[in-house]
Homo-oligomer: A and B are copies of this chain.
Amino acid sequence: MLKVNVITTGGTIEKVYSEQTSTVENLDNQIDRYLGRLRLPDCDVRVTPLMNKDSLEMTDADRSAILDQVRQKSGELPAVVITHGTDTMVQTGLYLKQALPELKVPIVLTGAMTPIGFEGSDGLQNLTESLFAVRILDPGIYVVMNNQAFPIDRVRKDRETSRFVWID
């Protein structure tokens, strides 16, 4: 039985349409409900909704809180998936890498380009891939997005194409 701590922090993946404002916003948590659609028979998933914000608004204190969450449960919940906004996902991942030099498990950061409840969203695909990836990847920190697993020091978000690409 693999134990996984899914730490949710917001980002586009969790945005919803608000009829009051006619915009998309981070309001309620969504990840838990979508995890419920997946079959994960030998996977003990604990969801920790840490925050729910656009990653452009993340502060050092926020990233520190993510790090604390990873450390606190590392004995009990070894594998970690962090859902996160795509704009500063790599920044958070590099921060974790320098703070956790002796990882014994994989830590996967993921998110989505379109909110998870919207037609054409990649949200459920990326969640599915991330929960699968933590079973197989070697210890380390990764971005898992759209069919690929990127080691954190070899990836960046390309703003023009809105895609994650390899840094050679």
Contacts and interface: CB of A to CB of B under 8 A. Distances in A.
A146 B23 contact: no
A128 B122 CA distance: 11
Interface string A100-118: 0000000000000111011
Chain A contact-residue range equals 35 or more
A132 to B, nearest CB: 5
Which residue, of A115, A118, A119, A131, has the highest number of chain B Cβ atoms within 10 A?
A: A119
Interface string A9-39: 0001000110110111000000000000011
Identical chains bound together, number: 4
Given A19-B113, A118-B118, A120-B117, A38 B136 contact: no
20 contacts: A17-B120, A23-B24, A24-B24, A38-B147, A39-B113, A39-B122, A39-B125, A39-B146, A40-B146, A40-B147, A41-B147, A42-B148, A117-B120, A118-B119, A125-B128, A132-B149, A135-B147, A135-B149, A136-B136, A136-B137
Give 4 closest A-B pairs by Cβ, nearest first.
A117-B119, A39-B146, A128-B128, A129-B132
